[in-house]
Chains A and B, each alone.
Chain A
């Protein structure tokens, strides 16, 4: 599809890239079928093909109103449409550029801006853990669902401290250590059992995705630069990889190179970070066979694995975790509509609560239909979103860690 960029878009650093992406779209509509919001609303404007058109209109200089804003806000950035697109349209990148341009062309009201800033500050700053503690105290008086999702976290257990010859960095994350501290600890224990030391660096924090998706691109780049600085000494000292156990953050790390490419001081380092970033499932499968002698029987063997969008669409890692779980003796049950988002999508669940709740219900219904003992997943957002139902929810690395003897 051809786009006549308006002057402002032509001069914008990302304008030409957006036009290139638009060129690849042939308007076939294959992507609408896997779009969660198109399934809910049945309106072209709430599906990828329509959103592509809306973004095209903005780039061509037509004045967008709050309706274009609404339809772009409703997009989960799950990128299921990218997986479905035979023409290779990079929708995720396009919607990112579209949102950035839209924010410039049509700034949000001060209330919305303030709310977004506050959200980013609470979730990524030091305030989140104390607030969460208050929330957990208030559980008895909170609405059912929220209360259930604030259930006490699994205790982290011990963090192995044995120095090892092989070392890998781990992105500790921002909300995850408060919400589910056991995930990082379990990661460290599994890798320790394989003779790999897992390092975290205190100064590294949020990967930047939170702010990036709240229209705060400049602040997000600050997050990225801070993390790069924090990790750099360990990388120079020979850390083999940057492990990520939250696939949403992994997608972001893999984009550092693109997002900082215009920053002369950081472009090369950012590209290196992206090259080193690894989801756990990119590292473990060839190694787990060595764990076999150390593994006890699984507590639950009938499992479903909910592949986070950031894993299956964002990083295009499909079937890898499932294959490894099967190799580890789990019975991985099939379920309907696996490509669809659970509605968590980072801060989406807070900004679009109604859509998010509907998607959660549908996802839980699909996941529990084959009667699993446990729902496994690979991203903190999804784990929180899916918890609070009748079936327990766990990161798959915790499921594996429980079997270590």
Chain B
């Protein structure tokens, strides 16, 4: 999916300058370098230009122009992605949608909100709060990440076990294809006629269309929510407790786990009150009417105790419940307190293997000489091991990359997948080769071509080329260990 840059740089920039006001076009290295990566700092690339349109007409004009000139376009929201999905293209335009941050409508009767793509996830819930409603998917980055980014990554959150991912909470997406043609996916009706293309665009990582407007489903705030913090003396026991809860027929509103290293990192910031002596803590939430909550909390506590929980503490009030979650939600960046950089992976495995997986990661920590606190959406088996490394040391970087790659390979081996919610982006291109066979990858590429025949919208992401897979296959034959660990792999 190499894109052919037809026009030379000065001509493209001159053409862009004609359609964008001065403050909306960044071209000098000084200004574009801060846009060189998203939340994954391992992979960086300065774009030819950053466009910061303020009107829909400007978005369309940029798309048309770039399409005509064969210039790649990479959409960007808040740049919190963890897979390099918003990594700029060296010869392309990074199209920031951050200025479209208006909430267009909150409909209390229909329980929907219609918003521009740059609206922050949390801002939707804040706007809906006076009506007693909220937007359920709550990525930990919800203070900052945009709904446009959420749609592109099909983002999940700590409450997605019960309420579903972005896909289950979005009704309609309006946008533009790479050539500036208007498109609409989904509808406000419960079931639209024809093929369900909404499911296709949600999770498409900005490769099929640029999102301009999103209508989301809102849900009524539960009367009550309470959260259990359960301590375990061993990570594997905590993993087994997760499986036990689900096996008991309980669907907690949230079911999350932090190991000791992770809770110790975040406690100084969040003051969540975590049990710092426990090898792992599980957060387990119940919501509904007070009666339902009381009954469910009792049931959960019973299962957790049977699963060897050493301590069980139930949030006494809303403030304490929010603290429990604040710790969990701020855990990744808190890693910055221990190391200059972290690499967060996103493999998902069948719940019954969580304990085993954590043991494997502990072995890898020793093998790679890097520590790896674990935080994850336990209920979905979605792991977020945080490999801590030093980005000034090329050897440390190479070890971190290899560590992350091995975790993903192990996820696939255990019957899981390489991404739960952060997307494939640039980061997991190699592992896509292990997870899917060539015909499947070719089918993905065909879908991409149907929307974007020239392949200029967010090129090079998600679908690995034949060549890359062949190269990756060759590397992996050498007994699992990568030759030349000093070389960057991305």
Which A residues from 33 to 79 make CB contacts under 8 A with B? Answer: 33-34, 39, 41-45, 49-50, 53-54, 57, 62, 64-65, 67-68
- Give the bracket for the number of chain A residues in contact with chain B: 35 or more
Is A329 an interface residue when CB atoms closer than 8 A count as contact?
no
**Given known contacts A42-B96, A43-B98, A45-B34, A86 and B39 CB-to-CB distance under 8 angstroms:** no
Q: Which residues of A contact B268 (CB under 8 A)?
A: 88
Does A1 lie within 8 Å of B34, measured CB to CB?
no
Is A2 an interface residue when CB atoms closer than 8 A count as contact?
yes
**Given known contacts A44-B34, A54-B34, A68-B30, A29 and B52 CB-to-CB distance under 8 angstroms:** no
Is B80 an interface residue when CB atoms closer than 8 A count as contact?
yes
Is A87 an interface residue when CB atoms closer than 8 A count as contact?
yes
Does B340 lie within 8 Å of A28, measured CB to CB?
no
Does A49 lie within 8 Å of B335, measured CB to CB?
no
Is B391 an interface residue when CB atoms closer than 8 A count as contact?
yes
Which B residues from 91 to 149 make CB contacts under 8 A with A? Answer: 96, 98-99, 101, 118, 120, 122, 126, 141, 143-145
Is B35 an interface residue when CB atoms closer than 8 A count as contact?
yes
Does A88 lie within 8 Å of B34, measured CB to CB?
no
Does A86 lie within 8 Å of B333, measured CB to CB?
yes
Does B34 lie within 8 Å of A28, measured CB to CB?
no
Does B37 lie within 8 Å of A27, measured CB to CB?
yes
Does B330 lie within 8 Å of A1, measured CB to CB?
no
Q: Which residues of B contact A25 (CB under 8 A)?
A: 336
Chain B: interface residue total (CB-CB under 8 A)? 47
Q: Which residues of A contact B145 (CB under 8 A)?
A: 29
Does A87 lie within 8 Å of B337, measured CB to CB?
yes
Is A84 an interface residue when CB atoms closer than 8 A count as contact?
yes
Does A33 lie within 8 Å of B266, measured CB to CB?
no
Does A23 lie within 8 Å of B31, measured CB to CB?
no
Give the docked Cα–Cα distance between A109 and B120 (Å).
Answer: 39
Is B181 an interface residue when CB atoms closer than 8 A count as contact?
no
Does B269 lie within 8 Å of A88, measured CB to CB?
yes
Does A65 lie within 8 Å of B341, measured CB to CB?
no
Does A24 lie within 8 Å of B144, measured CB to CB?
no
Is A89 an interface residue when CB atoms closer than 8 A count as contact?
yes
Give the docked Cα–Cα distance between A24 and B391 (Å).
Answer: 12
Give the docked Cα–Cα distance between A80 and B26 (Å).
Answer: 26
Q: Which residues of B contact A347 (CB under 8 A)?
A: none
Give the docked Cα–Cα distance between A54 and B98 (Å).
Answer: 19
Does A30 lie within 8 Å of B333, measured CB to CB?
yes
Is A26 an interface residue when CB atoms closer than 8 A count as contact?
yes
Q: Which residues of B contact A124 (CB under 8 A)?
A: none
Does A65 lie within 8 Å of B30, measured CB to CB?
yes
Interface residues of chain B, those whose CB is within 8 Å of chain A, are 23, 26, 28-31, 33-35, 37, 39, 41, 52, 54, 78-80, 96, 98-99, 101, 118, 120, 122, 126, 141, 143-145, 266, 268-270, 330-337, 340-342, 390-392
Q: Which 3 A-B pairs have the closest CB atoms?
A: A87-B336, A53-B34, A42-B99
Q: List 19 A-B contacts (CB under 8 A).
A: A23-B340, A24-B336, A24-B337, A25-B336, A29-B144, A30-B143, A42-B54, A42-B98, A43-B23, A45-B31, A53-B33, A54-B34, A57-B33, A86-B266, A87-B336, A88-B268, A88-B337, A89-B336, A336-B126
